[in-house]
Amino acid sequence: MLEPSDRHTLIDAMRPPAGHRFDEAMAVTFTLDLRALLAAPAAFALAPVDERDDDADGPEPIELIHAIRAHAGNITVFSEAGEIALPPARKVFAFLERCVVPVTAPRHGVVHPKVWVLRYLPIEDDGAPVHRVLIASRNLTFDTSWDTLLRLDQASSPRGADLGPIADLFDTLVAQAVGPVGDDHRARVASLGRALREVRFALPLGVESLRMHVMGAGGVDRPLPADPDRTLVVSPFLSADFFTSVHPHPIEVLVSRSESIDGLPVEVAGSIAQASVIDDDLAATDTEADADLTPADPGNRLEGLHAKIFLTETGSRARLFVGSANASGAAFGQNLEVLAELEGPVSSLGIDRLLHGDGDQVGLGAILLPYRRSEHPAELSDDGSPPDGLRRAIGRLGIAGVVDPSATGWAIRYRSEHPVPVPDGVELTCWPIASAGNRLRVPGGHPLDLRFEVTLETISGFVGFEAIEVDTGLCTRFAVPAVLEGVPDDRERLLLRSLIGSAERFLRYLLALLDDESTGEAALDTIADIEGSGDRRAATGSLPVLEKLVRTVRRDPDKLLALDPLVRDLAADDALPDGFGAVWAVLRPRFGIEETAR
């Protein structure tokens, strides 16, 4: 349990089980990096897609484009309003516009859970779907922090854990949305929610029972046991009221950040028998923070400890809590949070087992050092800077975008019903995120009402904002989803045409499309052969490509039917591989497309 050398990524945990393919998913996160959300569909594609550098030039990986188009429409991500990091200006984010739903917490705290619910279907037959739930401490970001991840797979028998409270969580999120929630999102939440209430989930090894606690939505907000024999707490962020009100009992072991322990009052620190921190040499990374960003900006990458663990022992029984809640009063009173409670014998789940391991397993203690109070404790941010307050307010406005033809191509007008509360001493600008150089100043005290000239490719359902405090130079940069109206029907097709752009990249896209339910090894071998030959004619006529096309015509003609408009566009641009047009003309009647004049 919780072995520090056992490294898993969220993307790894999303990959379908053997013999299955992705169907749909819903998730919730506090902060959101749209680049990390791009990686989620890639988890269901034929091959992993590496994280791209913010400043990377050149085209998007073609497999990523296919994965996003194939799966983004089946994902719903709820995110705390105002906590979406500003991404680089890339056209591909247009495919994510329909995924993200901004939300707020019922008790005026923050939406803090990090949960995924996924459904997979069998590849070869019409068998029953299987489900997976991920309970994490990490947001949907590329943070380089120490976190926990609990993976729960559907049990093969009626016995197992009941995760119905997670369904209740997502019902709450729908009710707390900033703007209207699409019918597709509502249907997905309802369908996956029914599954969570009906099926059971297998217990991890050494765990005898499991309960899910959703806090801040009307349920029990104090799930920690009263007066245990021993208590261990792992939390990066602390507040005194947790130790005095939420859990007013002695703490045997506290693992946190040095600056967080420094900030505890002396009387609270006296109730902690042993305080530890993660070894700086293990926690250090080469991530460079942007000195201009406010400490609370969602684009700041977290390092070091970020896991949240509460572990108690009473007699021979241990209760382990993992999830999103910090050791703070806000986590157990205001925020929307999730904790999974795992119960079992001390020999399997106890504090000594966690700290010291067992046999070949390395314990958490191997990466810990004793806490020593800093000579000059750092002042902890109260997240109260004017730019940060403005960011949260804008996230809650609810922005609509109307797209219209213009003399130069297209125009998009972003509007809000309520005024933008720009405080004195702060300058605010905004722009469509696909067009970073197209900025306009936002006047305060009035509803947002700004019009931007754009191309079809730079129409964006995400609005970029930058708020700068004039006196200090501190700023926050973030993105806010906008509900679009008037979007041209052919926008996605023409955007895909722009992203693919060449015969070689089209062939890679075609192979990804045809192989999206296989291991992908054969497709990657074919792609390597094509790239090595550098011969468009040889690549187009290769036997594997023709075989895959013919097989797909027989098995799934709708897949190729959807591809026909793109083939026509690329043919008009002379961007098809040599000879492919002739092959396509032969196949087209087989899947019911009539030849029309162009």
Choice between 123 and 468, residue whose per-residue pLDDT is larger:
468
Cα–Cα distances (Å) from 185 to 48, 250, 400, 545, in that order, read 26, 45, 18, 36
Q: What pTM was computed for the model?
A: 0.86
At residue 560, the pLDDT reads: 72
Chain-wide mean pLDDT for the chain? 85
Joined tokens for residue 560: 């190729």
C-alpha to C-alpha distance for 213 and 545, rounded to whole angstroms: 51
Does 507 score more than 80 pLDDT? no
Does 55 score more than 50 pLDDT? no
Per-residue model confidence as pLDDT tens digits over 484-494: 999 998 888 78
H helix or E strand, kind and range, residue 185: helix 183-198
At residue 555, the pLDDT reads: 73
- DSSP secondary structure string, 414-457? EEEEEEP-PPTTEEEEEEETT-TT--EE--TTSEEEEEEEE-GG
Domains defined for the chain, CATH in brackets: 10-209 (3.30.870), 215-370 (3.30.870), 386-488 (2.60.40), 501-591 (no CATH)
Write down how long the chain is: 598
Residue 243 DSSP code: I
Residue 275: band (very low, low, confident or very high) from pLDDT cuts 50, 70, 90: very high
Per-residue model confidence as pLDDT tens digits over 370-419: 999 887 666 655 556 899 999 999 999 999 999 999 988 899 999 999 99
The mean pLDDT value for 509-524 works out to 54
Q: Give the long-range contacts of residues 358-362, CB within 8 A, separation 24 or more.
A: 361/3, 362/3, 362/4, 362/5
At residue 320, the pLDDT reads: 98
Per-residue model confidence as pLDDT tens digits over 1-15: 455 555 567 888 988
Residue 571: band (very low, low, confident or very high) from pLDDT cuts 50, 70, 90: confident
* Burial classification of residue 183, based on how many CB atoms lie within 10 Å of its CB (0-12 exposed, 13-18 middle, 19 or more buried): exposed
Q: Return the closest-CA partner of residue 135 out of 158, 147, 151, 153.
A: 151
Per-residue model confidence as pLDDT tens digits over 297-315: 999 988 889 999 999 999 9
At residue 41, the pLDDT reads: 78
At residue 520, the pLDDT reads: 38
Q: Are strands 100-103 and 426-432 parallel, antiparallel or unpaired?
A: unpaired
Per-residue model confidence as pLDDT tens digits over 426-468: 999 999 999 988 999 999 999 999 999 999 889 999 999 999 9
C-alpha to C-alpha distance for 199 and 178, rounded to whole angstroms: 31
Q: Return the closest-CA partner of residue 304 out of 255, 374, 339.
A: 255
Which percentage of the chain shows pLDDT scores above 90? 57
Choice between 543 and 117, residue whose per-residue pLDDT is larger:
117
- Which residues lie across from 409 on neighbouring strands? 406
At residue 262, the pLDDT reads: 94
CA 144: distance to chain centroid?
A: 15
From 57-66, 206-215, 574-583, the region with the lowest mean pLDDT:
57-66
Per-residue model confidence as pLDDT tens digits over 222-265: 899 998 999 999 999 999 999 999 999 999 999 999 999 999 99
Q: Which amino acid is at 250?
A: P
Does 506 score more than 80 pLDDT? no
At residue 310, the pLDDT reads: 98
* Burial classification of residue 496, based on how many CB atoms lie within 10 Å of its CB (0-12 exposed, 13-18 middle, 19 or more buried): buried
Residues 6+ apart with CB under 8 A from 521: none
At residue 301, the pLDDT reads: 87
From 83-92, 140-149, 282-291, 355-364, the region with the lowest mean pLDDT:
282-291
